[in-house]
Chains A and B, each alone.
Chain A
Amino acid sequence: MAQLTFREAIARGIAQEMRRDESVLAIGEDIGAAGGVFKGTVGLFEEFGPVRVRDTPISEQAILGAAMGAAMTGLKPIAEIMFSDFFAVCWDIVVNEIAKSRYMTNGQMTFPLVIRSGNGGGLRFGAQHSQSVENWAMMVPGLKVVVPSNALDVIGLMAAAVRDPDPVIFLEAKALYASKMEVPDGDIVDTLGTAKVLRQGTDATVVALGAMVPKALKAAEELASMGIDCTVVDVRSLVPLDTKTILREISATGRLFTVEENPRLCGWGGELSSIASEEIFYDLDGPIVRITTPHIPLPAADALEDMAIPSVQRIVATVSQSMNA
């Protein structure tokens, strides 16, 4: 066992897969000797050298085009897009090329690649370096979307993403990079498309993703002291979506609250609400409530950003008000 930060877990997960498989390569801006702007690739350059851990120019289309071309010819690239906001300058490669090409070619091509990216707010970076884009990625047929919430899951889900034959968008919550936990030694391999029940309760089910997961857990503790016993589910994987686990946990309590960092419109919670309404409507004992960032660009000032992104206090207040209504 070792204490590991979320950012150290990223490098460990990548290294684990690079040691196992020579066709796994890492590329991105400043990921080599510099170790990544968020220090998520520290040590990889030293261990695997400049051929397998390669710095690129600030050319996001070239980075992802290179990953795609390499994947279709037998390699398993892990490409970094430094901030997920930058997907906007290379979204064509992601959506039109990577996501569609297997289907368009009637299965002639396979794209075993991972695109990792720092996602979300909390660092006071302002609107162009803070947004949560999981909803962008989720709505594109042909992309798998993974959002870990802790260091252990980072390693296991990174391994699962690298080993998966399909393109995986791996979103790293920037607010969690410094978070720490005990992680066992040795290889860790998880499974895509599996949600985790982190806390079992009887009154309400709180479903959260990424940086919202620790907040949901903290809120659940406070709610418990107020007499509201919550289940907390970590979604972990938006595509494939583990609806079996999530719906089972909603049915068990009869109430669903989602906690989403993405701006409100078309957030993953909207889709989950729709599925719950269609499939377990008669198990519900009250309205489905979504707790999200409002439909605004994220402001820079700490006071404003803290108001925008769901907080422990907002989760507690929203759940308790709704449960006591």
Chain B
Amino acid sequence: MTTTATVPVLDLEAKLELYRVQVALRQFEKRAYDLFLENFVKGTSHLSLGQEAIAAGFAAAMRSDDYTFATYRGHAHTLARGVPMTPVLAELMGRTNGLMAGKGGSMHLTSVEHGVMGSYAIIGAHLPIACGAAWSAQYRGTEQVAVCFFGDGSTNIGAFHEALNFAAIWKLPVVFVCENNLWMEYTRTTEITAVPNPAADRASAYGLESIIVDGNDVDAVYEVAAAAMTRARAGEGPSLIEALTYRHGGHSRADPGKYRPDEEVAEWLAKDPIPMYHARLLTEGATEAQLVEIELSVAAEVEKATEEAKAGPTPGADLLMKDVWADGGSAWRN
């Protein structure tokens, strides 16, 4: 199989938007972390700091009615589809103005109206579910595409392999995106995986092209994403893309990530997608003032979302027993 799709070239305006999205994801998650330290954000959270280019690049290549399936590390993918910051932050804080009124939390962000069909916290589970949404699109003939993001660790669970085979035999319009940040939780992925590239090296087993992209280069991500989406819409079946990246922090909020060698962290910090893109845009005609303006407006947005989220009421008992069933209730007997 070869990549035949032509990808539309992004103009400067579109690239400034890619910059804005990445900056928004970065500033949002930094604020989320601060609010955790201040005990406003409870429970656990898994940040995408350093991995923003993947979320931004894919979201830019998606149609508004396409489906996103994310993991517990899903803040970035949710925001990148256009979900406003306030409900996401309020969800992290367990408030009624949260995206799911506080009933899902950080690991389960969902906004059906934005095509964010859930964030799933059982490793690998959402790959088959993304197949289902793609099967539905195929049956209904809508040319929608399901994009399913997961980490390198997911490639060693059975559901990954079931889903890849299933998508391939049914030629489903689904794009599987492995965000390979080199570490499966606290263990180096190559130490517990039979092949060096956990997704790309498995692609041939399902008759798919082996695709690796620099996940810290948003332009490259966009190109590979757009090509895969075009193939999927044309009925050419699934794609499996491995995006190489690095998380700047630990696995979850409880993890300082000390198991990683200092020089490796330094090497990847030097490849931070946001300063890299900032520098590139300056060479492509953007002005420093334009970029600073974007950063400041995002900072104001984060500030406003923080205040709005903090002002949200905590949920009352009325929510507790709601929405187990489609009738809105939870009755299991008469």
Contacts and interface: CB of A to CB of B under 8 A. Distances in A.
A92 B166 contact: no
B334 A69 contact: no
A148 B269 CA distance: 61
A96 B135 contact: no
B162 A141 contact: no
Contacts of B130: 65, 69
Interface residues of B, number: 51
Nearest to B120: A97
B330 to A, nearest CB: 7
Contacts of A301: none
Contacts of A105: 100, 103-104, 108, 110, 112, 118
A96 B127 CA distance: 14
Contact of A102 (B136, B146, B159, B326): B326
Interface string B320-334: 001111111011111
Given A97-B120, A107-B328, A61 B162 contact: yes
A92 B104 contact: no
Nearest to A101: B118
A164 to B, nearest CB: 8
Contacts, number: 166
Interface in A63-105: 63-75, 77, 92-93, 96-97, 101-105
Interface stretch (A40-48, A122-130, A234-242): A234-242
B136 A70 contact: yes
Nearest to A56: B166
A244 B137 contact: no
Contacts of A74: 136, 140
B286 interface: no
A51 B139 CA distance: 8
Contacts of B325: 102, 142, 165-166
A109 B166 contact: no
Contact of B332 (A101, A110, A164, A240): A240
Contacts of B99: 106
B67 interface: yes
A93 B124 CA distance: 10
Contacts of A68: 128-129, 132
A70 B325 CA distance: 18
A198 interface: no
Contacts of B139: 25, 51, 70, 75
B111 interface: yes
B165 interface: yes
B122 A141 contact: no
B194 interface: no
B144 to A, nearest CB: 8
B101 interface: yes
Nearest to A54: B170
Interface string A262-303: 000000000000010000000000000000000000000000
A73 B128 contact: no
A57 interface: yes
Interface hub of B111, B324, B331 (most chain A Cβ within 10 A)? B324
Interface in B116-159: 117-118, 120, 122, 125-137, 139-140, 146, 158-159
Given A59-B162, A59-B165, A103-B324, A96 B122 contact: yes
Nearest to B107: A104
Contacts of A110: 326
B163 interface: yes
A69 B163 CA distance: 12
A96 B104 CA distance: 13
A102 B327 CA distance: 11
Contacts of B292: none
A61 B159 contact: yes
A66 B137 CA distance: 12
A324 interface: no
Contacts of B100: 104-106, 108
A101 to B, nearest CB: 6
Contacts of A64: 128
Given A74-B136, A104-B104, A165-B326, A62 B334 contact: no
A109 B120 contact: no
Nearest to A194: B334
A141 to B, nearest CB: 6
Nearest to B157: A61
Contact of A71 (B131, B132, B319, B332): B132
B136 A103 contact: no
Nearest to B104: A104
B169 interface: yes
A62 B166 contact: yes
A130 to B, nearest CB: 24
Given A61-B162, A96-B122, 18 more contacts: A61-B128, A62-B162, A64-B128, A65-B128, A66-B129, A66-B131, A72-B133, A92-B159, A93-B125, A93-B129, A102-B325, A103-B324, A104-B100, A106-B323, A110-B326, A142-B325, A240-B332, A241-B333
Interface of A: 25, 51, 54, 56-57, 59-75, 77, 92-93, 96-97, 101-110, 112, 141-142, 164-166, 193, 239-244, 275
27 contacts: A57-B165, A59-B128, A62-B163, A63-B128, A65-B129, A65-B131, A66-B129, A66-B132, A72-B129, A72-B133, A73-B117, A73-B137, A75-B140, A77-B132, A92-B125, A97-B126, A97-B129, A104-B108, A106-B100, A108-B100, A108-B110, A109-B117, A141-B332, A240-B331, A240-B332, A241-B333, A241-B334
8 pairs of A and B residues whose beta carbons are closest in the complex: A69-B132, A65-B128, A165-B326, A107-B323, A59-B162, A66-B132, A69-B133, A62-B166
